[in-house]
C-alpha cells in the first residue's frame, strides 16, 4: 500500500507551511517532492520522520496510522531510514560501525554491513573513519546506514546538494539502484529538477504549502498544470500573448494555436515555448537577433522587435544563427501550452 498523507496542515506560529497535503507514495516507488526552498517539502519529510509533531491530518504506512495529532512515535519507532544533505555520520565511529548502527545482533550486523559496503562500491573502507572519506563516499555510507535496518520508508533530504557536480549523477544512480534493490518506499526532497527527473518514479510539485501536480516526468512535461510546473520540468520561453479565436497575438508575431490550446478565447495568457517546438526562419521584416549563445545542446537567441521588446528564445542547434540576422518564429512539433495571467 505504501505511504499516505491525508489532509496534512502544519504552521510555524502564524505562518502556514503545509495547507491540506494529500498524497500517496506507492509501495517500493521513489516519489520526489520538488519545489522552491520554503514551499514545505522538508516540513512534510520531518513530519514523516517524527522530527516535528503532527498538528492536523494523518500519515499512514501500509494502511496503519504512522502519525497523527494523537499519535507521534519517536523517529526510532517509525521503521524509517533518513539521509540528510551532509550525511550526518557519527564521526567517532568507523564506517562499518556507522552502517551497522541500527542493526540488532552481532552476526546480522556484520553480514548486513559487509553486504552494503559491497553494494555501495566501498568494500575496503569499513575500518576507516568518515573524515577520511570524500563527500561522495560519505553520502554513500549515509545511504547504506539508512538502509541497513531494512526500513519500510527511506527519506532523502537534499542528499546530493553538497556533492561535486561531476559525481552527482553517479551518486543519484547508485542511490536509486540501492533504494529499488531494498524495496523501500522512498521520499526524495529536492529543489533540483534534474535530480527529480533522474531519480524519481513520480514527482509531486509543491508551491507555497500545496501540491500543484503529481505525475511522472513525462506527464508533467507534456501536460503541466501551471506555468511554474512547465518551467520546472523542462526548459522553455515564456511569451505574453492575447488569444482570440485560436490565434495568439504577441509582440513577435501572430500564431495559430493547435491542439488543446486552440479552443475558445482565452484572453491574456503566457505561452510556453519548448526548444523543440519552435524554429527560426529568415525574414527581412522579422525580429533582429542581438545576442546568441551556443550551449552544445541548444542555441539561446535574444530577439529584439522594435525599440524595447526583447525575447530570450531557446531553440535547437541547427541551423546556426548569427547576430544581426532578422528572423520570425515558426511553431512546430507540438502545441504551445498556455496559462491565463
pLDDT by residue (tens digit) across 139-166?
999 999 999 999 999 999 998 887 877 7
Sequence length of the chain is 341
Q: Please, what's the b/e burial string for 194-232 (b: 16 or more CB within 10 A of its CB; e: otherwise)?
A: ebbbbbbbbbbbbbebebbbbbebeebbeebbebbbbbb
Predicted confidence at residue 132, as pLDDT, reads 93
State pTM to two decimals: 0.89
Under 8 Å between Cβ of 155 and 142: no
In whole angstroms, what is the distance from residue 243 CA to residue 63 CA? 47
User: Residue 263: its pLDDT value, please?
Assistant: 52
Q: Which domains does the chain have, with CATH numbers?
A: 3-232 (3.40.50.300), 237-340 (2.40.50.140)
* Spatial separation of the C-alpha atoms in residues 212 and 98, rounded to whole Å: 38
Locate 212 and state its grid cell: 500543484
Residue segments in the chain with a per-residue pLDDT below the cut of 50? none
Instruction: Check residue 45 and give its pLDDT.
Output: 95
CA distances from 226 to 22, 214, 276 (A): 19, 12, 20
For the chain, percent helix, then strand, then coil, each to nearest 5?
25, 40, 35
Segment 68-121, tens digit of pLDDT: 999 999 998 999 999 988 768 999 999 999 999 989 899 999 999 999 999 999
Of the candidates 236, 325, 330, the one whose C-alpha atom is nearest the C-alpha of residue 280 is 330
Amino acid at each position: 500500500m505504501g505511504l499516505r498523507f491525508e489532509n496534512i496542515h502544519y504552521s510555524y506560529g502564524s505562518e502556514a507551511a503545509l495547507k491540506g497535503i494529500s498524497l500517496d507514495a506507492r509501495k517500493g516507488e521513489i516519489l520526489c517532492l520538488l519545489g522552491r526552498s520554503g514551499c514545505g517539502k522538508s516540513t512534510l519529510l520531518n513530519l514523516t520522520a517524527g522530527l516535528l509533531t503532527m498538528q492536523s491530518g494523518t500519515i499512514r504506512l501500509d494502511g496503519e496510522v504512522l502519525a497523527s495529532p494523537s499519535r507521534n512515535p519517536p523517529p526510532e519507532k517509525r521503521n524509517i531510514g533518513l539521509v540528510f544533505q551532509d550525511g550526518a555520520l557519527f564521526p567517532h565511529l568507523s564506517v562499518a560501525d556507522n552502517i551497522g548502527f541500527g542493526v540488532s545482533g552481532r552476526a546480522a550486523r556484520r553480514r548486513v554491513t559487509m553486504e552494503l559496503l559491497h553494494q555501495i562500491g566501498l568494500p575496503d573502507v569499513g575500518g576507516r573513519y568518515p573524515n577520511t572519506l570524500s563527500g561522495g563516499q560519505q553520502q554513500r555510507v549515509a545511504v547504506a546506514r539508512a538502509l541497513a535496518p531494512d526500513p519500510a520508508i527511506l527519506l532523502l533530504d537534499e542528499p546530493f546538494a553538497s556533492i561535486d557536480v561531476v559525481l552527482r549523477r553517479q551518486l543519484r544512480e547508485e542511490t536509486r539502484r540501492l533504494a529499488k534493490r531494498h524495496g523501500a518506499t522512498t521520499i526524495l526532497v529536492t529543489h533540483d529538477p534534474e535530480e527529480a527527473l533522474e531519480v524519481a518514479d513520480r514527482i509531486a510539485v509543491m508551491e507555497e504549502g500545496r501540491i500543484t501536480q503529481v505525475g511522472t516526468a513525462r506527464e508533467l512535461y507534456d501536460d503541466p498544470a501551471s506555468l511554474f510546473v512547465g518551467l520546472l520540468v523542462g526548459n522553455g520561453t515564456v511569451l505574453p500573448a492575447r488569444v482570440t479565436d485560436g490565434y495568439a497575438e504577441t509582440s513577435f508575431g501572430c500564431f495559430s494555436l493547435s491542439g488543446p490550446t486552440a479552443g475558445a478565447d482565452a484572453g491574456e495568457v503566457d505561452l510556453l515555448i519548448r526548444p523543440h517546438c519552435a524554429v527560426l526562419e529568415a525574414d527581412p521584416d522579422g525580429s533582429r537577433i542581438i545576442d546568441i549563445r551556443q550551449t552544445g545542446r541548444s542555441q539561446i537567441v535574444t530577439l529584439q522587435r522594435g525599440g524595447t521588446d526583447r525575447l530570450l528564445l531557446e531553440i535547437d542547434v541547427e541551423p546556426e544563427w548569427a547576430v544581426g540576422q532578422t528572423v520570425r518564429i515558426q511553431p512546430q512539433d507540438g502545441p504551445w501550452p498556455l496559462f491565463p495571467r
